[in-house]
Every structure is written in C-alpha cells, then in structure tokens.
Structure 1
Amino acid sequence: MNLFYSFFALLVVLLILGIVFYFITARRYQSSDSVANSYDEWTEDGILEFYWGEHIHLGHYGSPPQRKDFITAKLDFVHEMVKWGGLDRLPRGTTLLDVGCGIGGSSRILAQDYGFSVTGVTISPQQVKRAQELTPEGVDANFFVDDAMQLSFPDASFDVVWSVEAGPHMPDKAVFAQELMRVLKPGGILVVADWNQRDERQKPLNFWEKPVMKQLLDQWSHPAFSSIEGFSELLVETGLVEGEVITADWTQATLPSWLDSIWQGIARPQGLVRFGLSGFIKSLREVPTLLLMRLAFGTGLCRFGMFRAVRTNSLEQTSKTVSQQTAQV
C-alpha cells in the first residue's frame, strides 16, 4: 500500500511540474520575430513535419465528417478550398500568392495539380529553406521570406491571393486585410481559411472561455483571433472589395484534426527514437494546447472561417482608396 501511495505521490508531483513547465514555456507573441523563431525551431528539428507532413494546417474530413487518414485529410483540404473558392475554373499560368506558406505543401499542390504560378511567403527563413528543398525542379513554386503585414510586392501583382491559418499571428487584422487585397489585381480572387474566435459583440466570452482563449494565444505566438464577422468587415473596409465577402464555417469538417494530431504521436512511436527524449518532451507539451483547441472549436468559442473576396475592377474606387490611405499616413 505504501508503494501505491508513493507512486501516486510521484504522479501528482510530475503532473504539477508538467503544468508549471507548460505555463513558463509559453511562446507569447512579442513581435514578428517571435513567430519566426517558433517556426524556425519546429522546422529545424523536423518534428512538426514528421507528424503533420508537408501541410501545417488542419484537414478536411467531409460534411458530415468521416474517418480519414490524417495526411489525406490535409491534402483534401487544399482541393476543397480550391473548389470552394472557384479557383478550379481558372486557367493554367494563373499567378497566386500563398501568404503564410509554411514549408510549401499547399503551394506545390496548387502548382502541380492546377498549373498555377505560385509564390509562397513566410516569416520563417527555415521554412523557406525547407520549402525549397521539398520542391522538385520544374514545379512553378518559389518561396521567399516576407512579412504579411508589409508585403514586398507592388499593388495588383497577383491573380489570386491564398492564405491558410496565418491570420492569428497578425497583430493588426486591418493591416493584414489591406495587404491581402492590395496585392490582388483588379478582378482577382482572395481565398482565406482561418481560425476565428466567436464574435464577442454578439456573445461575450464567459468565465471559463477567457482563460482558455488566453492560452490559445499565449502558447502559439498569437496576438489575437479575429471573428468571421469582424474580418469580413475589415476586408470590406479596405474599399477594394467588389460586392460582398463570401464566408463559410468549416468547423465541423476540420474538427477531427485536433485529436488526430495527438493520435499521430501514439500511432507513430518511431518518432520517440528519431527525436529522442527532448523531442518527446517538446511534442508532449503541445498536447494540452491541442486539447484546448478541440474544446474551443467543439463548443463554439472558436470557429474555422472561410473567406472569399474579389478585388474591385473600378480604377476610380481603387484610386480613391489609395488616396485615402496616403492621406491617413
């Protein structure tokens, strides 16, 4: 019996130490450098790529969701997003900017399967390096370090702007929206997929949602989540949107991804050998955040938002918007 109590006491101590470690090692957003450093570290050690593959985003499991292989669901997500955005009707050679491209998984599909001329940008130099390594010669996808808050491309550079799950890292959502629309050609299409918080104007966060949301921000270098309604309004406020912003909620279709991502560590124990004890600890500390993500998206605190907008063809409206922005500066 004493042995049992000793073992139980040891477990309690380890649990307490684990909780303390989780909180003191949070990767709070400080600047774009903190985001870049986080992704550099995950890319250099290869753990994220080992478990998540070339696509550092959620998977699409269908509507209603069905059991799928984790990596297959991620591939399906890209194709579903292409169809939802109407990009499958665009001709080969269409120029596309992938904002927050990670290690280039989506960019390569867009170039290889749809014939687009793709430019991928990320804040992480290591992600750019790895994306270049993974891209076969002859695939029309090029990768550069760039800041989505101040894209280095001229106005009206691309036929399509594409972004998946990059928005939570952006400290000023209005500037992010402006940059996405600015680099689109008149008549060009913006397609964005993002993690969103419930609109607090409609239903404020309650006593348990506030600390959960704080951890979702602090643990993965997120300054804030926008709401679907709020980001749609910011896109319209750029003055560069033709008509209305089309939105959709893909929460249910992507929801299985959170538990599936945890299951990868159990189903593929060879990672323990490949990355050693330090890799195991690094992976294990992400489990609470993944569970909090599943809780948040499963209860409606967070939503997976889809956005589609077309840049106005009106040169008069575009010139007026640019003049207004210049005057504000």
Structure 2
Amino acid sequence: MLTEALLLTGGLSATAFLLWKRRNRRYTSSESVAAAYDAWTDDRLLERLWGEHVHLGHYGTPPSDRDFRKAKEAFVHELVRWSGLDQLPRGSKVLDVGCGIGGSARILAQDYGFDVLGISISSAQVRRATELTPEALSCRFEVMDALDLQLADQQFDAVWSVEAGPHMPDKQRFADELLRVMRPGGCLAVADWNRRDPSDGALNRNERWVMHQLLTQWAHPEFASIKGFRQNLEVSQHNRGAISTGDWTQPTLPSWIDSIVEGIRRPGAVLGLGPKAVIQGLRETPTLLLMRWAFATGLMQFGVFRLNR
C-alpha cells in the first residue's frame, strides 16, 4: 500500500506526515466546500503561493521550464484558444463557474474585452475577488451554487469553468446548468481533474487508497472521468452541438511540484504569515504529492471540454 513510504519518499518529515494524518476535509455538502474555500482564502497561504490563479498552469507541449505563475496565465490563454473563446467579439457575456479569487475572470475581461460574471460557493472568495478587481474592469462576482444557478436560460455567450467539477456531487446536473445558461452557438470551456474511466481498468489496492485521500482531503465527493463527463454534456437536454475533449495531463503536470517549490522560491510569502502558515503548508504538501503521483501514473487525467460551434 502507498502509505508512509510514498509520502516520505517525497521528502516529507515525520511531523508533516502526522499533521497530514490528522487532517480531513471530507465532502458532506456544498457547505463543506464553501467552508474549505473560505478557510483557504482567509488564511491567504494559497494566494501567497499560487498567486491570483487557483488552478494549475500550462507548461506547453512538451512541458518547458516556465515560471509557475506565468504558466497559470498561459493556461487561461491556451484554454481560450482551444475552446474558441478568442473568436467571440469584445463585449461578449461570459460566466466563470467556480471563479476562485477571480484570476481567470480578470484576464478574460482585460485581455479579451469580455463582460464577465464570476460565481463561487465561497463568500470569502467572492469578497477577495472583488477586492482584487479594478472598478473599471467589466468583471463582477457573486456567491452562487453551480448546481442551482440563479440565472436565466441562454444568458451567456460563453461559459467557463476550471477545476470546479470535482466538488459537484451531481455531475449531470452540473453539465445541465453549464449548458442551460449558454446561448445557442455559444462557447463552452471546461477544464477539470478527472479520474481514469472504469472501462480503462479498475483501481488496484494502492490506487483505491490514493483515490480515497484525494477525495477526502480537499472536499471532493467524486471525480468524473473524461469519458463520463463528456457523456453528461452530450446527453444534456440543453446540449446543441458536438462535444470535443482533450487530455492536458502532461502540459499541466509540473504544476504539482512547482506548487510545493514556490514555498522555497518565495519563503517570505509563507514566513510572513507566521508559524501557522508554515504548519498549514506542511499539511497540504502530502496531498499535492499524491496528486502528482496520481496524474503521473494515469490514475487521474486533466480533461478539457468544449462545444463545437
């Protein structure tokens, strides 16, 4: 079984391992997701280390030696091009589902001239996103549940969602809501952490243990597979086109180690928050290493989804 050996091989101390064993953010409801992100936002550690983009970076194909934060910005532009959002005129209305602290939304508004609404289940994220966004930018944020969007049908020219799907207990409803609010002929851009599809092989004992950790440590009810979520989109009553998918596992893979190394590159970012932040960083490191292992071995995949126009 992948237990102490895997974690300590990654360079973790016994103290960090004990901290990891005591932590748990098991999904129980949307409130548990909101509480986790409220805490991550308020302690500022994630922002200090990851910057404004609470998602992975894109390092190119093959991956290059790219700065972690620049890779995160590059990810946004890569997904814009891949999904066809760059073909939309300035002023197009875009919904960012699971907006974090607004990093992607601000790029979409500033670099592409879109009118962006970002939504998050976390009131702390919405507050921080609003604080970081210049008033002149056409970009605003609201607290909202992605499984119950309080928005009219066919309201947006594009719907954007990055790494929000793992927090959704009902993947079909998530797909339905994304497509419901998008106008006919609009653009869909979804990027998510996905598990290996059961048709490609059942999980062995070690993989089941790792999967359990990945679900319970970061408030995930379940991961969809790329095949599975593609089917959710295809069978939705709101679907009006063909769905295309891609696997961006390799170009995003360096993010996991980079997210740990940032603490070494920018020690003041952590130390400036006090001893509690150092302990918190140690608590997160095992899960980051497990994520890296899962994506490197094929247990997990980084899927991207678009609607062909």
| Residue 259 of structure 1: aligned partner | 257
How far is the alpha carbon of 1:21 from its aligned partner?
Answer: 3.1
Which residue identity is paired with 2:178?
Answer: L
Which residue identity is paired with 2:116?
Answer: V
How far is the alpha carbon of 1:18 from its aligned partner?
Answer: 4.1
Measured on the aligned residues, the alpha-carbon RMSD in Å equals 1.4
| Residue 3 of structure 2: aligned partner | none
Q: Relative contact order: is structure 1 or structure 2 higher (C-alpha 8 Å, sep ≥ 6)?
A: 2
Aligned pair partner of 1:229 in 227, 230, 246: 227
SS in 1 for 2:116: strand
Distance (Å, rounded) in 2 between the aligned partners of 1:67 and 1:167: 28
Structure 1, unpaired ranges of 5+: 1-13, 312-329
* Contact persistence 2:16–2:282 (CA under 8 A): no
Distance (Å, rounded) in 2 between the aligned partners of 1:31 and 1:245: 29
Written as runs of structure 1 = structure 2, the 5 A alignment for 1:1-329 is 18-309=16-307
Distance (Å, rounded) in 2 between the aligned partners of 1:258 and 1:174: 28
* Contact persistence 2:271–2:278 (CA under 8 A): no
SS in 1 for 2:205: coil
Largest Rg, 1 or 2 = 1
TM-score, normalised via structure 2 length: 0.94
Bigger mean CA offset, 211-220 vs 262-271? 262-271
* Contact persistence 1:59–1:74 (CA under 8 A): yes
How far is the alpha carbon of 1:243 from its aligned partner?
Answer: 3.5
Distance (Å, rounded) in 2 between the aligned partners of 1:131 and 1:201: 40
Distance (Å, rounded) in 2 between the aligned partners of 1:267 and 1:186: 46
Distance (Å, rounded) in 2 between the aligned partners of 1:91 and 1:278: 46
Distance (Å, rounded) in 1 between the aligned partners of 2:15 and 2:262: 25
How far is the alpha carbon of 1:24 from its aligned partner?
Answer: 2.6
Structure 2, unpaired ranges of 5+: 1-11
Deviations 1:137-163 (A, max 9, x none): 210001000000100001111110000
* Contact persistence 1:59–1:71 (CA under 8 A): yes
TM-score, normalised via structure 1 length: 0.88
| Residue 321 of structure 1: aligned partner | none
Aligned identity (percent) is 58
SS in 1 for 2:189: strand
* Contact persistence 2:93–2:156 (CA under 8 A): yes
How far is the alpha carbon of 1:242 from its aligned partner?
Answer: 2.9
